[in-house]
Homo-oligomer: A and B are copies of this chain.
């Protein structure tokens, strides 16, 4: 008998492999009947919303781990820089499990999840604004942009791994390095071959 956690884990795997996976496909992946699946989750939407909630729990956990609010108040530039790196690498790890949720239209359209997303984005924005004040992040970008840039590069990383263009072990470094320093060769280096 699969318990709720096992079903959610199997569903997560099924949606990562095929974001359009049906309830029948999820039941098969979990090794249970459709009737059993429906006893746990009324609908595909209910299942997706619970997975979306868990992905937000994980995001909140990452912000708790670095103690985002205390760190923002500290004004400690090296600590803020290190925490941003820790956060982004943590998000890349989480996206390996919850990647489909980044772009799932049911999850993105859910009002409760969107509200909670905004609360977490606000927590992050406080840290980003502090990072700007102490010279860790560029002062010319809007503080609300940083979270979107991170989000987009998580989608990049997940897609690059899915297509097979990038190895899973390399994706954290690629995302972090592209995010922080960009993909252009710095112009102050003489790089013409």
Contact = CB atoms under 8 A, between A and B. Distances in A.
A114 to B, nearest CB: 9
A154 B184 CA distance: 17
Main SS at interface, chain A: helix
Interface residues of A, number: 55
A57 interface: no
Interface stretch (A4-12, A22-30, A31-39, A134-142): A134-142
B165 A145 contact: yes
Contacts of A138: 182-185
Interface in A149-187: 149, 151-157, 159-160, 163, 165-166, 170, 174, 177-186
21 contacts: A18-B109, A20-B105, A103-B103, A103-B105, A105-B105, A132-B185, A135-B193, A136-B185, A137-B185, A138-B183, A138-B185, A139-B185, A144-B166, A145-B160, A145-B166, A149-B156, A151-B155, A151-B156, A152-B155, A152-B159, A182-B182
Interface of A: 18-20, 77, 81, 103-106, 108-109, 132-139, 141-142, 144-146, 148-149, 151-157, 159-160, 163, 165-166, 170, 174, 177-186, 188-189, 191-193
